[in-house]
């Protein structure tokens, strides 16, 4: 069998790409459907669900590269004529389906890949090239839009695949021509092709119209809308000796061997601090954190759920500590309350004073089990026990 196409038949390379890409796409679709419906009520189920999603993403990415190579090969080869090219409407529909399939084979895995890159955490792609893309920001809004587009293009792909398979079966069962056989291995005796063919421009424009209509339908269905999150506790303004002007409160945890980072957007700090200690103490601090303001990539909703931070029942966390001198820098020695569980926490920090302005940075590692966060996640390879907390702020002294 020749490797290249001719005007009447497909070569071995085109056939190999056709069936390899079809196998990868169907496998990715099945894996994605099973993974989406898989429960995650305990660590074993969550690990299995993540494994399914990782396999789905890896197979889907492989399908993307296979489809890209298939399309490049197709554009470098003559396209065999349709056996029913003289049947105007049917031939136009067949060519349109081919263009929609070509586009969907790229758009589905590409939107899935970029959606993965825009999120943080859960089910990494099994390859050594990293999980991010330099042109895709880690942004919940971007992730929502890309996730909606991925689902929408999956629907278009599935419908077009069904139409494509139905058309092939029609040719085989009803028309009894060799359309299906000439994509199978081996050489097939083929009849003379009709000279009339539908051309490429009109079917390509029709395919563009199909995707445009799908996007409009998806937008009207709310696929690209950001989901409403649970209401975040409103924190009262604090008035203290030192007023925080800016700052960040970040956390990071290992999930399935990958680092997941998150940020609390809303928190307050009531700070009393003197450069010269009194009775061995520089002052005190009371920090109040709105738990619902956490963003933690693709696992945000899970982290805020009842089995973890339980933001609905316990909307705030508090840290009350004395500020003590240390061998290097300072030490905040106090008690952190999360999920109604109070745990002693020592936070070493560095402080740079410049007149009435102060810059502070500190890092501490917490054991989530002490706060009964994710009690069912007993396997550290699924969800790490240690949670690193990084805080940085700039404060000014009031009059």
Complete domains list, the chain, with CATH: 12-220 (1.20.950), 242-397 (2.40.128.110)
CA nearest neighbour of 80 among 161, 159, 2, 176: 2
Q: What pLDDT is attached to residue 227?
A: 61
**pTM, rounded to two decimals:** 0.78
Q: What pLDDT is attached to residue 120?
A: 78
Q: What pLDDT is attached to residue 2?
A: 84
Answer whether 139's CB lies under 8 Å from 120's CB: no
Cα 362 to Cα 171: distance, rounded to the nearest angstrom: 70
Helix (H, G, I), strand (E, B) or coil at 382: coil
Cα 271 to Cα 242: distance, rounded to the nearest angstrom: 5
* H or E segment to which residue 283 belongs: strand 281-290
Cβ contacts of residue 270 below 8 Å, gap of 6+? 238, 239, 240, 285, 286, 287
pLDDT tens-digit readout, 76-132: 999 888 888 788 788 899 999 999 999 999 999 999 999 999 987 778 899 999 889
Do β-strands 316-325 and 330-338 pair in parallel, antiparallel, or remain unpaired?
Answer: antiparallel
Q: What pLDDT is attached to residue 255?
A: 85
Segments in the chain below pLDDT 50? none
């Amino acid at each position: 069998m020749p490797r290249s196409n001719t005007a009447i038949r497909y070569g071995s390379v085109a056939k190999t790409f056709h069936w390899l890409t079809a196998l990868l796409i169907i496998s990715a679709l099945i894996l994605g459907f099973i993974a989406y419906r898989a429960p995650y009520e305990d660590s074993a189920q969550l690990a299995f669900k993540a494994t399914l999603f990782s396999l789905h993403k890896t197979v889907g990415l492989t399908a993307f590269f296979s489809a890209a190579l298939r399309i490049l090969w197709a554009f470098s080869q003559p396209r065999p004529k349709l056996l029913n090219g003289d049947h105007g409407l049917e031939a136009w529909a067949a060519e349109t389906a081919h263009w929609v399939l070509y586009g969907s084979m790229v758009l589905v895995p590409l939107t899935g890949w970029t959606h993965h890159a825009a999120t943080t955490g859960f089910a990494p792609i099994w390859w050594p090239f990293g999980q991010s893309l330099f042109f895709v920001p880690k942004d919940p809004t971007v992730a929502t839009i890309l996730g909606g587009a991925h689902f929408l293009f999956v629907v278009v792909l599935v419908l077009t695949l069904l139409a494509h398979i139905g058309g092939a079966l029609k040719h085989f069962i009803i028309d009894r021509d060799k359309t299906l056989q000439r994509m199978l291995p081996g050489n097939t005796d083929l009849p003379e092709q009709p000279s009339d063919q539908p051309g490429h421009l009109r079917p390509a424009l029709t395919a563009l119209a199909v995707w445009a209509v799908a996007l409009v339908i998806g937008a009207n269905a709310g696929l690209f809308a950001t989901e409403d999150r649970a209401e975040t506790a409103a924190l009262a303004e604090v008035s203290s000796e030192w007023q925080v002007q800016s700052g960040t409160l970040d956390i990071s945890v290992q999930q399935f061997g990958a680092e997941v980072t998150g940020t609390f957007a809303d928190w307050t700090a009531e700070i009393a601090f003197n450069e010269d200690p009194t009775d061995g103490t520089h002052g005190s601090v009371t920090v109040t954190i709105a738990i619902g303001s956490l963003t933690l990539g693709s696992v945000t909703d899970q982290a805020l759920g009842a089995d973890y931070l339980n933001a609905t029942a316990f909307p705030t966390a508090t840290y009350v500590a004395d500020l003590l001198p240390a061998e290097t820098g300072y030490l905040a020695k106090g008690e952190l309350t999360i999920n109604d569980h109070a745990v002693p926490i020592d936070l070493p920090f560095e402080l740079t004073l410049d007149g009435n302005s102060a810059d502070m940075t500190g890092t501490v590692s917490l054991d989530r089990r002490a706060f009964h966060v994710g009690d069912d996640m007993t396997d550290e390879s699924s969800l790490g026990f240690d949670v690193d907390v990084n805080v940085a702020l700039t404060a000014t002294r009031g009059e």
